[in-house]
Structure 1
Amino acid sequence: MAKIGVDYYPEHWDESLWEQDAELMAQTGVKVVRMAEFAWSRLEPKEGVFDFGWLDRAVELFASKGIEIILCTPTNCPPLWLYEKYPDALQTERSGQPIATGIRGHRCYNSPSLRKFSERIIRRLTERYGSNPAVTAWQIDNELDAVHCCCPECTERFRKYLKEKYGSLESINKAFGSNVWSGEYSAWTQIKPPLGSYPLGWYNPSYMLEWHRFCQKSVNDFVRFQAELIRETIPEAVITTNTWLCENAPDFYKMSEPLDVVSYDNYPPTRLPDDPDALYSHAFHLDLMRGIKRKNFWIMEQLSGAPGCWMPMTAAPKPEMIKGYALQAIARGADSVVHFRWRSAVSGAEMFWHGLIDQSNVPSRRFYEFAQLCREAEALDTDGTEVSSDIALLYSPDTETALKIQPQTDGFHYYNQLKSFHDGIISLGANCDIISQSADFSGYSVIIAPTMFITDESVVKRLYSFAENGGTVVLTNRSGVKDQYNNCIMAPLPAAYSELTGCTVQEFDPIGWDAAHVEMNGREYEVSCWCDVLKPDGAAVIASYTDRFYKGSPAVTVNSFGRGKCYYVGTIGKRDFYKELCARILSDAGLDIITDLPRNVELSARKGGGKEIIFIFNNNDKEVEFSYLNKKFRLKPFEMKTVTQS
């Protein structure tokens, strides 16, 4: 059974509401509440003065109703007294000035003061609640990102990080190519964060990649610091932190190493795009979360109403969205789905980020749909089941960062290429893991590696070995461009992968938003953004351009390598292009596919314990009808149906 829960903020509500809220949750089928991630000022209103009485009463109340509790370390929002008395706890902006307080997430992960006071509040929390059987898990901080803090402490730690990695300034200058623009360092004090107002793309790309790697390391160290503190008091603690796809994304794979469970904040769209080629399904995000540890995960914040905070409110969730999107997460490996939030706030910036119950405090359509979700989730026998995949997409935090530092052309985005292949796979009814480049490739039949922009020699060797031993590899445009230092490689592209692909790039055309066309399997497809003009060297051509000055030149090839194959996709298409291409790739690899699924109907299977549960989700705002497993299915918009097989 997947557990359905809610985020609850007892500190926001008069205590007279707690009892009726907890009672209604219990009646509705809520299994878990998350609390206290922003409550530091209530827990420690003055330095060294603690007030846990209110949280004691809240924990006791929910425990009495049989509801589990996830407690959070409140380090995302240190109290204002801490910032005032210990200003080193504040992040420093690129201007060199401390960030202005007033919202959340101001803290510097490396601040000695923040570490000191974080340790104290975490110890107090774990010592007080660690033996309480109702507290079943702990969440670290909230929505951590790799913030680019430019304070003196981070500056010194950045220099130390480079010293440990490179050893000398000479090595740094060589690796960075610092002789460009007379950027060679002659003293360690010359190495600083990217201060000033220049666009980040104007700085040395090697330096910028290392700066972001350092910022990722800082958040990783902060997570490990907290996890170790919690386990000192509670060795058996189940620990997580809630992630999201933010601008300065952490390395999810490394950040999650000290954690037991990956968690995600899941806000699928309430207004579907008019463009039929837009990729809006959060199946991609969910498969990414599952792929981080290659096991089931949790949702720590799930869509409950119209979002609205730093942007105008979006449309209210349509009927079945609340339930359907939660079941979509369960279908893709979520063992717990916690909705944000129980009741919409009446104060603060997030008052229009709607919960299950509006400020009127009168349950309405969304709440009753949530209640139905609780009943359906309880009836689902998912215990002991997991999603298994024959296909993996490789995700590279370094490549994502490098392409943000130096965008390649209009409309060219790393995530879009990942999402396009992912969409092509799930449109055929197949499962897909999104894994780290350092993950074990065994157990997969197909590895799809879009835009291997930053070259890691160990990954190159493993992809060659994977194909040689019978696997199928898929590579794309802008692969092999850079070395590990973010410098261009002097070799015909795809450089290190050329033998594997059996082709090279004669030239490329960054066409941006303009359109070109390719012919594949007798059908013409529109492409855009990027066009590699390929020269086969043993590879077979499976798609060619039909216009522009490279008309007739290869755009997509396939090369036999050892007992396996390697496809090279030199351009970027729309949804139909990727569905057709993925159908060929998966069929040639001997995998089962379903070619006649209606668009945006998603299948996922969870297996284990001698059973298989097939989830069929209509991620559409229109009713669909189709046949599958010798049965006819009719699904309403956002409806989920399941089929259990022994």
Structure 2
Amino acid sequence: MNVGVDYYPEHWDPAMWPADAVEMKAAGITLVRLAEFAWSRLEPQEDQFDFRWLDNAIALFAAQRINIIIGTPTAAPPNWLVEKYQDILPVDHHKHPVYPGVRCHRCYNSPSLRRHALNIIEALTRHYVGHSAVIGWQTDNEIAANDCHCENCTREFRSWLQRKYLTLENLNQAWGTVVWSGEYSAWSQVTTPLGGSPHHNPSFVLDFQRFSSDSAADFNRFQAEIIRKNCPRHFVTHNLWGYPVVTDYYRLFDPMDFVSVDYYPSTDLKDDTKAAIYHGALTLDLTRGVKRKNFWVMEQLSGTPGCWNPMSRAPWPGMIRAHGWQSISRGADSIIHFRWRTARAGAEQFWHGLLDSHGHPGRRLAEFKTFASEVAQLNDLISGTRLHNEVALLFSHEQNNAFNIQPQSDGFDYFKNLKQLHQTLVRQGVGVDVINWTENVDDYTLVVAPFLFLEDAAVALTLENYVKGGGTLVLTTRTGVKNSFNVCQSDYLPGLLGGIGGIRVEEYDPVGFDKQKILLFKDEIGCSQWCDIIMPITAKTIGVYASDFFSGRSAVTVNAVGKGSVYYIGSVLDDSGYRRLFADILRECRIEFIDDLPAGVELSVRCDKTKRLLFILNLTKEQQSVSLPERVRYDAFSGEAVLPTLSLGPFEVRIVLEE
């Protein structure tokens, strides 16, 4: 277990560095990330490298026994590079170059970017391969798929399509280009989706997004190969940035040793709209699921967020510590806080660090020190543990992208709906693995596979075999609508999964914000966004609509298949409806849960072959009470017995050993 900070020595007077290093050591810091935006200092002019300042900074940390991660600086190409090699810049859908702004002004398919990225990464890795304090590398920073329409991307996109479809005839057939006279008669006619029209062929747009994601993944792989060649004993990781994004993170992280995430939970607890991409526990569970193993947090909340938006609230006392432990509870093995000192210049002046820009210690640093000392105290206990959950929630970048291309109804949002399902299980104290929808699921007792809009025969077969073998599967509305080319199917919904669902969707109503009602186990609950009007074939109806013209028709069903069962939810339920339904499903699956866990309280378990650590976190400003199932428990810090009913203060964290 490591606790560290992100530090930017190039932003500060070198005379300040020694005191910073000493103070970091005193704070319990064991790891520092450096240099991920420092290309102009590392290579001030083309092929003229200057690592002396970085050598000096690393030497100061090494003297304090603090290890170093170096970031490759390719997310911030310097001005000399942009001026001399214009193909570095991405081009928007109107064919206008995207000029340097904050950062990330680069096209992954630019030959000049690849050439100069190779030069700087080669020089850095050769220089630091033997340094005892340097233990690993972070590639680039928060790589995201570019919406780039430059000539290089146009050429590479055509090649990508030729490899996929082989002939124009196949492409025309797959995309249905006959609509609106869009058929291609020569490859030269195929461009990127220019103009920004919302009416582009959705098959065309989805394939372009796939290409853009592949370009980002290839750029990441290109960097990893250089690092591994020159620094075979160092780890290689990358820091993903939030959800949802176009980029397929599963492919992006193929060449990485482990996943890292930049995690900034909302400090505006009653209104997280400014931090809408940070979905708390869901982000951490998604991150763990990318490689299905423990991960790192490369940037963690340290102070008031604020940069391109108005500033958010200051972290409430205890919040920094609590969210550090939340990350560990969900699989993080190292927590690196952004940043040591708040910037005085540049775009991130108001994205606060552990210290304010004046550098004097305050409340936030004191809280961080407490967290660091606690991690050190429990290091031996936590190291080697991981999460072993019985429930999987399937996630798909493909589905998210397809829904964004063609919104289904007012208020229908794939990721928000996924978050609601995840939050339902979190509110019941159930651990969830959020994994790629194409993964094997045989080890899980319950699999929730929501909104499988794009149908995949291999996935359908995997889920069918899983259910026949005794698994419980939950399907939802908007399943089996399209094939992988983003073209609508010609069969009843839910397509290939209709057989194990034991149903067919006879009609649907995109009700949007128009609230509807369902009688579920004789309880009236609310629903909205979408209503499938279901005809049960072999399934049993457990919920019927109680409003509108489809009143009395099936809304929620369950079907016995082999040794397992399949639930189908034909609408988007309200929170109470999901909790009611999943309580019944969890009982049927014999999965332990808590029916009345307060909102904002989370439970998570890390374990190994000899011990089981339960993390109990109150992530609210209010006092909360939690009643746990009867079991022998001991406080991990004091060793004292822990009673089943706990009272938790605001942002209080309890870590207990369970028998």
Which TM class, normalised by the smaller chain length? over 0.9
Residue in 2 that maps onto 1:480 = 480
User: TM-score under structure 2 normalisation?
Assistant: 0.95
Q: Note if contact 2:264-2:278 (Cα within 8 Å) is conserved in structure 1.
A: no
Residue in 1 that maps onto 2:492 = 492
Is the aligned partner of 1:207 residue 2:204?
yes
- Secondary structure of the residue aligned to 1:241 is strand
Is the aligned partner of 1:643 residue 2:656?
yes
Residue in 1 that maps onto 2:48 = 49
Q: Note if contact 1:8-1:34 (Cα within 8 Å) is conserved in structure 2.
A: yes
Q: Note if contact 2:470-2:565 (Cα within 8 Å) is conserved in structure 1.
A: yes
- Secondary structure of the residue aligned to 1:262 is strand
**Counterpart Cα distance in 2 of 1:279 and 1:539:** 37
Is the aligned partner of 1:557 residue 2:581?
no
Q: What are the equivalent positions in structure 2 for 1:433-444 lying under 5 Å apart? A: 433-444=433-444
Q: What are the equivalent positions in structure 2 for 1:147-162 lying under 5 Å apart? A: 147-162=146-161
Q: Note if contact 1:71-1:139 (Cα within 8 Å) is conserved in structure 2.
A: yes
- Secondary structure of the residue aligned to 2:542 is strand
TM-align CA RMSD: 1.4
Q: What are the equivalent positions in structure 2 for 1:45-124 lying under 5 Å apart? A: 45-124=44-123
**Counterpart Cα distance in 1 of 2:547 and 2:37:** 57
**Counterpart Cα distance in 2 of 1:88 and 1:600:** 48
Residue in 1 that maps onto 2:640 = none
Q: C-alpha deviations, 1:465-497, integer Å up to 9, x for none?
A: 100110111110000000010000011111111
**Counterpart Cα distance in 1 of 2:12 and 2:145:** 32
Residue in 2 that maps onto 1:458 = 458
Gaps of 5+ in 2: 631-642
Deviates more, 1:541-550 or 1:480-489: 541-550
Q: What are the equivalent positions in structure 2 for 1:7-22 lying under 5 Å apart? A: 7-22=6-21
- Tell me which amino acid in the other structure corresponds to 2:217: N
**Counterpart Cα distance in 2 of 1:8 and 1:137:** 16
- Secondary structure of the residue aligned to 1:107 is coil
- Secondary structure of the residue aligned to 1:565 is strand
**Counterpart Cα distance in 2 of 1:458 and 1:197:** 33
Q: What are the equivalent positions in structure 2 for 1:360-371 lying under 5 Å apart? A: 360-371=358-369
**Counterpart Cα distance in 1 of 2:233 and 2:271:** 49
Summarize the Cα distance change of 1:423–1:240 in structure 2 as closer, same or farther, 3 Å threshold: same
**Counterpart Cα distance in 1 of 2:294 and 2:319:** 22
- Secondary structure of the residue aligned to 1:465 is helix
Residue in 1 that maps onto 2:575 = 575
Q: Note if contact 1:505-1:535 (Cα within 8 Å) is conserved in structure 2.
A: yes
- Tell me which amino acid in the other structure corresponds to 2:446: V
Q: C-alpha deviations, 1:348-382, integer Å up to 9, x for none?
A: 01000111111122211111111111111112221
Please, which of 229, 246, 251 is the counterpart of residue 254 of structure 1? Answer: 251
The alpha carbon displacement at 1:237 in A equals: 2.1
Deviates more, 1:595-604 or 1:101-110: 595-604
The alpha carbon displacement at 1:236 in A equals: 2.5
Q: What are the equivalent positions in structure 2 for 1:338-417 lying under 5 Å apart? A: 338-380=336-378, 381-417=381-417
Q: Note if contact 1:558-1:567 (Cα within 8 Å) is conserved in structure 2.
A: yes
- Tell me which amino acid in the other structure corresponds to 1:223: N
**Counterpart Cα distance in 1 of 2:535 and 2:651:** 45
- Tell me which amino acid in the other structure corresponds to 1:17: M
- Tell me which amino acid in the other structure corresponds to 2:292: R
Q: Note if contact 1:279-1:423 (Cα within 8 Å) is conserved in structure 2.
A: no
Deviates more, 1:583-592 or 1:147-156: 583-592
Q: C-alpha deviations, 1:599-645, integer Å up to 9, x for none?
A: 22111000015111100011222110232244221111222111013
- Secondary structure of the residue aligned to 2:194 is coil
The alpha carbon displacement at 1:403 in A equals: 0.4
Q: Note if contact 1:8-1:33 (Cα within 8 Å) is conserved in structure 2.
A: yes
Summarize the Cα distance change of 1:453–1:631 in structure 2 as closer, same or farther, 3 Å threshold: same
Please, which of 299, 307, 310 is the counterpart of residue 308 of structure 2? Answer: 310
- Tell me which amino acid in the other structure corresponds to 1:495: G
Residue in 1 that maps onto 2:29 = 30
Q: What are the equivalent positions in structure 2 for 1:421-432 lying under 5 Å apart? A: 421-432=421-432
**Counterpart Cα distance in 2 of 1:271 and 1:173:** 49
- Tell me which amino acid in the other structure corresponds to 1:584: D
Q: C-alpha deviations, 1:268-288, integer Å up to 9, x for none?
A: 11011269xx99851111000
- Structure with larger RCO (C-alpha < 8 A, sep 6+): 1
**Counterpart Cα distance in 1 of 2:277 and 2:197:** 33
Residue in 1 that maps onto 2:330 = 332
Q: Note if contact 1:281-1:619 (Cα within 8 Å) is conserved in structure 2.
A: no
Residue in 2 that maps onto 1:470 = 470
User: What is the total number of aligned residue pairs between the two structures?
Assistant: 641
- Tell me which amino acid in the other structure corresponds to 2:281: A
Residue in 2 that maps onto 1:518 = 518
Deviates more, 1:20-29 or 1:416-425: 416-425
Residue in 2 that maps onto 1:131 = 130
Summarize the Cα distance change of 1:440–1:106 in structure 2 as closer, same or farther, 3 Å threshold: same
**Counterpart Cα distance in 1 of 2:299 and 2:129:** 23
Flag as ranges the 4+ runs of structure 1 deviating above 3 A: 278-281
**Counterpart Cα distance in 2 of 1:544 and 1:621:** 39
Q: Note if contact 1:503-1:534 (Cα within 8 Å) is conserved in structure 2.
A: yes
Q: What are the equivalent positions in structure 2 for 1:201-280 lying under 5 Å apart? A: 202-245=199-242, 248-273=245-270
**Counterpart Cα distance in 2 of 1:137 and 1:176:** 44
- Tell me which amino acid in the other structure corresponds to 1:639: E
Residue in 2 that maps onto 1:282 = 280
**Counterpart Cα distance in 1 of 2:99 and 2:384:** 47
